Structure 1
């Protein structure tokens, strides 16, 4: 199983307040519909169902000299049984990583803490 980071608190986060917090936070949005991808070998479309409270994060890349800016929404955060979870990427240590920015905004709003699978607390 892959390493994950979680946002949690006591009492656990209620789905309704999670959705409200996500809806009021720039750079993220609820996506309960899941994700689709194309199998490059067969061309078959594969769909993975989402769950209520799943969150997409906005990623923006700047082209050379600011030309060719691209934006994409990517499914990053799952919400299950009162906590949000995501798999950190190599760039998670950088302060401006979109997932990191969003998760800490949400954690502050919900008075939650961000912890790793091994119990370590992240406080940036």
Structure 2
């Protein structure tokens, strides 16, 4: 859901990608960066060491928000479940 317009956003393709708007410097500079991949009912993202350690990482925050919205869990490659809260 677009929080500014209320428009419902749906993915109709069997495979697609989503980006996150990330601040790129110390000033107001920001850019869209690839973050999520969707395929056959599964959303994946690269859990970098920085993301795992930084509760304010924008991709981590987006993953938490997505999981909260759709009632999903964040599960690692080895089956470990991550329980993160939005910061």
- Taking structure 1 as the reference length, the TM-score comes to 0.54
Q: 1:101 and 1:25, CA in 2 relative to 1: closer, same or farther beyond 3 A?
A: farther
- Alignment length, in residue pairs? 76
| Pair 1:89 & 2:48 matched | yes
Q: 1:25 and 1:114, CA in 2 relative to 1: closer, same or farther beyond 3 A?
A: farther
User: What is the CA-CA distance between 1:53 and the residue it aligns to?
Assistant: 3.5
Q: Moved runs in structure 1, 4+ residues, more than 3 A?
A: 23-26
Structure 1, unaligned runs of 5 or more = 1-22, 33-50
Kindly indicate whether the alpha-carbon contact (under 8 Å) linking 2:20 and 2:58 is maintained by their aligned counterparts in 1: yes
Spell out the pairing of 1:1-124 with structure 2 (5 A cutoff).
23-24=1-2, 52-63=15-26, 68-92=27-51, 93-124=53-84
Q: Residue by residue, what CA displacement relative to the aligned partner does 1:65-89 show, whole Å, maximum 9, x if unpaired?
A: xxx3210100110000101001112
Tell me, in whole angstroms, the C-alpha distance in 1 between the residues paired with 2:38 and 2:74.
14
Q: CA RMSD in A?
A: 2.4
Q: 1:58 and 1:103, CA in 2 relative to 1: closer, same or farther beyond 3 A?
A: same
Q: Which has the higher strand share?
A: 1
Higher RCO (C-alpha under 8 Å, 6+ residues apart)? 1
Q: Residue by residue, what CA displacement relative to the aligned partner does 1:22-55 show, whole Å, maximum 9, x if unpaired?
A: x4368xxx8x9xxxxxxxxxxxxxxxxxx74411
- Taking structure 2 as the reference length, the TM-score comes to 0.74
Q: 1:25 and 1:88, CA in 2 relative to 1: closer, same or farther beyond 3 A?
A: farther
